[in-house]
Copies of this chain bind each other. A is one copy, B any other.
Amino acid sequence: MRVLILGGDGYLGWPTALRFSARGHEVAVVDNFSRRRWHREQGTDSLTPIRDLDERIAAWHEVSGKEIQSYLGAIEDGDFLEEVVAETRPEAVVHYGQQASAPYSMASREKAVETQHANVIGNLNLLFAIRDHVPDCHLVKLGTMGEYGQPEIDIEEGYIEIEHKGRKDTLPFPKLPASLYHCSKVHDSTNIHFACRTWGLRATDLNQGVVYGIETDETAQDERLINRFDYDEIFGTVLNRFCLQAVIGHPLTVYGAGKQIRGFLNIRDTLACVELAMINPAERGEFRVFNQFTEQFSVLELAQLVKHAGEHLGFSVEVQHVENPRVEKEEHYYNAIHTKLLDLGLEPTLLGEELVESMIHLIERHKKRVIESSIDPHTRWNPVKSPAGQA
């Protein structure tokens, strides 16, 4: 299959590109290296020493004999993206090419605007490019469970049947997004759904939980194929950050009570889910939504798991509750349905101590590269005003 991967230099995009290439698909990637740029701007970096995209692609060719095509540019540039789509004529587009950090989107007006502009306009350009050049192409869009927020009812997969005053309809599941980044993903869902209803496009929105893990079968084949691993307050996700904290002797920073519940999945399962969606495409006109995670945990449960695994390996691990920088419910009902990917054949890689220990080993190899000052949370969802700021 001809597959175009937007954000193909990223934490999920790169291993996806390798997996699909390994399985014989014709892979092209698009990236503008904004994640690398944001890291430079903030003085942070991936824990793992990732190579330039060209080097990565050359190494993959050496290892596998396979070619990956690459296009450098921003998808917010509609003419650029249109040319790429017209040239590659993909049968599936996997769209990871977004600013994906909630704290980044909450750090300032400028960063909020950058996030919503990049995400919403990039995705809108993509919808037009597909409509005008490859209307039969299947869009596989990475969404997020954070679009739903914390409702008091079970979270269904994208839609909910509502009975109201004696009538019934199945409508988009109402969203309570958790940050301005998450808002941008809700906007994308609204636009994609509209494009499917109006233009007859086909799309699958993968509302993904929090991803953990580093390696995949392909990235492990050569040091030059190594995947990005972020642990800083902006781009790091919680379990990855806890594992790193355990290694360097930094207390595991639990935000608030730590009873916040989320869905989680292993990065290997992300790739499996994207592949399942791709080889079982949505119908023309269908906007299909899958909740993409394998297990629910509270943040505190994860901290306990990492503490246990870390101590088993001889590290001394402390769990510290820090003031929650986010505005969110810390004790809440949470039950999200996630059966559709299982129905397509997903076999989950569940989280256990062994997996945590293997992450800890990989982190240990690169621990000299850790920038410890980047770990603690500084970005507040509701910043306290300085008296000067308030005049």
Chain A positions near chain B (C-beta within 8 angstroms) = 78, 82, 109-110, 112-113, 116-117, 120-121, 124-125, 128, 132-133, 135, 151-154, 156, 160, 162-165, 167-169, 171-177, 179-180, 183, 186-187, 190-191, 193-194, 197-200, 327, 333, 381-382, 385, 389, 391
Docked CA distance A198–B183 (Å): 12
Is there contact, CB below 8 Å, between A154 and B167? Answer: yes
Is there contact, CB below 8 Å, between A389 and B132? Answer: yes
9 cross-chain pairs, A with B, having the tightest CB-CB distances, nearest first = A171-B174, A152-B169, A109-B128, A187-B187, A153-B164, A198-B327, A172-B174, A153-B167, A153-B169
User: Contacts A198-B382, A382-B199 given: A120-B187 contact, CB under 8 Å?
Assistant: yes
Chain B, residue nearest A200 (CB) = B382
Q: Please pick, from B109, B117, B125, B183, the residue contacting A191 in the complex, using a CB distance under 8 A.
A: B183
Question: For residue A187, which residues in chain B have a CB less than 8 angstroms away from its CB?
Answer: 120, 183, 186-187, 190
- Report A144 CB to chain B, min CB distance, Å: 14
Number of copies: 2
Question: For residue A110, which residues in chain B have a CB less than 8 angstroms away from its CB?
Answer: 78
Question: For residue A176, which residues in chain B have a CB less than 8 angstroms away from its CB?
Answer: 171-172, 193, 197
Docked CA distance A187–B186 (Å): 8
User: Contacts A153-B162, A191-B180 given: A121-B128 contact, CB under 8 Å?
Assistant: no
Given A117-B121, A160-B164, 6 additional A-B pairs, CB 8 A = A113-B124, A153-B168, A153-B171, A156-B164, A183-B194, A199-B382
Chain B, residue nearest A133 (CB) = B391
Question: For residue A174, which residues in chain B have a CB less than 8 angstroms away from its CB?
Answer: 160, 162, 171-174
Is there contact, CB below 8 Å, between B172 and A164? Answer: no
Docked CA distance A30–B152 (Å): 41
User: Contacts A110-B78, A180-B191, A389-B132 given: A197-B117 contact, CB under 8 Å?
Assistant: no
Question: For residue A199, which residues in chain B have a CB less than 8 angstroms away from its CB?
Answer: 382
Docked CA distance A200–B385 (Å): 13
Docked CA distance A167–B198 (Å): 34
